[in-house]
Amino acid sequence: MDSDGTRDARGTHANPVPRARSDMPPMPSQAPGVPPMPDGSAFLSWLRAPRPEAAPGVWRFGHRPRPEKEPEEIPTRQLLTGAVIGFLCGWLLCSLLDNGYLGDYWFWPWFVLAPDSWTHGQAGWLGALSYVYKWLFFAGIFAIFGKISRWGEVWRRFGPPAWRRAVPAHEPPPAPEQDPAEWPQLRAAGAVDAAERLAAEARAGKMRDVDHARISRAWQGVRSGRFGLATFTGAVLQDGAAACLHPSGERDLPARLARHDLLTGQVRLGTTADDAR
């Protein structure tokens, strides 16, 4: 009788539970590698992002101000429906004219302006001119219906112009005197060596937003006279992005419960609907 191993002597039941192995795993052949340092592109993109002046409560990082007067935009469904109806109406009218259901009055300008030799069974290119007139007349009809049905608006919103706008443009880096990553305020005050060190740290990925805010605050202390320029420059040349550390020694915030933009001193707590109101 099988007792499920509850009353069997140790090691005598049919399916013994495997025990954990006590031997150590083999040691690795080499030390683990150090992960590569970031190239600094993320920090530079954050630093160079536009932050235009905006009303209180507007997240300025990457903000694009609305135009003072926005053009009225036709709803997509209404626009596409009107374009299709306009095309069908133009095609129907041209088909009726071409098959003679509406008479030949639309050929009267051709009969009046063209010589008789062009309109009475002439072969070759003279006879083909009547077909050119017909297709030009039909093209004019489609142009009128296209204007009424807003085909141009459909082209701008769904054609190649919209595709080009959807592709993000690669903007060239700003000039050194306008690039915040080059610390122009330090260069203007004569601390060129400190600016070069900080710019190199930023490009190498060794600077964070907290480092930038901390060093900028220290520089404000230099401008106000609380610290000396030589002391500030020496600290930057010695420690780079780690200069002017907080007494805790931390260079980053351990946890961020919301999105911060330390360059503008803003905290993003939520979003609102993208509405003209």
Per residue in 89-139, pLDDT (tens digit) is: 999 999 999 888 888 888 787 777 766 655 555 555 556 777 888 889 999
**Who has greater pLDDT, 185 or 269?**
185
At 83 the pLDDT is 94
At 122 the pLDDT is 54
Confidence of residue 5 (pLDDT cuts 50, 70, 90): low
Confidence of residue 37 (pLDDT cuts 50, 70, 90): very low
At 127 the pLDDT is 61
Q: Enumerate residues 6+ apart whose C-beta is below 8 A from 237.
A: 193, 194, 197
Mean pLDDT of 36-53: 79
How far apart are the C-alpha atoms of 218 and 233, rounded to whole Å? 11
At 269 the pLDDT is 85
Task: Report CA-CA distances (Å) from 202 to 32, 179, 198, 254.
Answer: 27, 12, 6, 21
State how far Cα 25 lies from the chain centre: 48
Task: Report CA-CA distances (Å) from 246 to 213, 214, 218, 253, 272.
Answer: 12, 8, 11, 11, 36
151-204: per-residue pLDDT in tens? Answer: 999 998 888 887 777 666 566 667 778 899 999 999 999 999 999 999 999 999
50-59: per-residue pLDDT in tens? Answer: 999 888 888 8
Mean pLDDT of 259-273: 86
Q: Enumerate residues 6+ apart whose C-beta is below 8 A from 1.
A: none
Domain positions in the chain are 76-166, 180-267
Residue 76, φ and ψ in degrees, nearest 5? -60, -45
Per DSSP, the three-state class of 118 is: helix
Inter-axis angle of helices 76-98 and 125-149, to 10 degrees? 150
Neighbours of 51 (CB within 10 A): 15
Mean pLDDT of 74-86: 92
Confidence of residue 33 (pLDDT cuts 50, 70, 90): very low
Yes or no: say if 80 and 88 are a contact pair by the CB < 8 Å rule: no
Task: Report CA-CA distances (Å) from 172 to 48, 175, 184, 196, 204.
Answer: 11, 9, 18, 20, 19
How far apart are the C-alpha atoms of 188 and 151, rounded to whole Å? 54
Q: Tell me the range of 15-24, 57-66, 225-234 where mean pLDDT is highest.
A: 225-234
Neighbours of 174 (CB within 10 A): 12
Per-residue pLDDT at 246 exceeds 90: no
Q: What is the mean pLDDT of the chain?
A: 80
Yes or no: say if 78 and 72 are a contact pair by the CB < 8 Å rule: no
At 36 the pLDDT is 44
At 121 the pLDDT is 53
At 10 the pLDDT is 55
Handedness of CA 231, 233, 237, 242 (dihedral sign): positive
Confidence of residue 35 (pLDDT cuts 50, 70, 90): very low
